[in-house]
């Protein structure tokens, strides 16, 4: 059995700059999709917002053997669910199970908080988006609260026709 070269922990405020760098690096994969290539030029989650989420205890970081962040999941508690804001992994650390593990940790956190679901919005037809999340147990959802997230996505320039909201009922 191959030794796992990463662990997951809660994020610290001192991780914020690294998380922004991970998000920017991970977004470069969108350059391979002509219609979405502009996302590679996007800005990461603002540091003030990321700090709020870290203080709430809803940001989880995958770190290498030197405790350096290589991936993260940022989320927020909204009513009766934990809503995933962002999942990003450095390109050279992708396809090692880090994204799946981060989702598992978020699911466990939501369960420990007695929440009813883990939710997110994502691209419907991008392989590493909705199809990936469906493999993990998410299903497309159409409730009012999630519709508001899709509308916010649209206000931020994301093509609403290509987006969907997903939920994993806990």
SS3 call for 37: helix
Residue 170 vs residue 161, higher pLDDT: 170
- pLDDT on residue 1: 47
Residue 72: closest CA among 61, 85, 57, 84? 61
Residue 56 vs residue 31, higher pLDDT: 56
Query: Hey, what domains does the chain have and what are their CATH numbers?
Result: 7-169 (3.40.630.30)
Are 108 and 82 in contact by the 8 Å Cβ rule? The answer is no
What's the pLDDT tens digit per position in 60-112?
Answer: 999 999 999 999 999 999 999 999 999 999 999 999 999 999 999 999 999 99
pTM: 0.92
């Amino acid at each position: 059995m191959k030794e796992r070269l990463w662990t997951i922990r809660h994020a610290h405020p001192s991780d914020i700059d690294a998380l922004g760098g991970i998000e920017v690096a991970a977004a470069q994969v969108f350059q391979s999709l002509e219609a979405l290539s502009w996302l590679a030029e996007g800005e990461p989650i603002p540091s003030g917002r990321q700090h709020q989420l870290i203080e709430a205890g809803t940001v989880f970081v995958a770190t290498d053997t030197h405790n350096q962040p290589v991936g993260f999941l940022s989320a927020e508690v909204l009513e009766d669910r934990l809503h995933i804001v962002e999942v990003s992994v450095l390109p050279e650390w992708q396809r090692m199970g880090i994204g799946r593990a981060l989702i598992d940790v978020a699911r466990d956190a939501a369960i420990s908080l007695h929440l009813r679901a883990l939710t997110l919005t994502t691209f419907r037809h991008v392989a590493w988006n909705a199809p990936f999340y469906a493999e993990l147990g998410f299903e497309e959802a159409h409730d009012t609260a999630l519709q508001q997230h899709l509308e916010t996505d649209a206000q931020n320039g994301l093509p609403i026709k290509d987006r969907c909201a997903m939920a994993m009922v806990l």
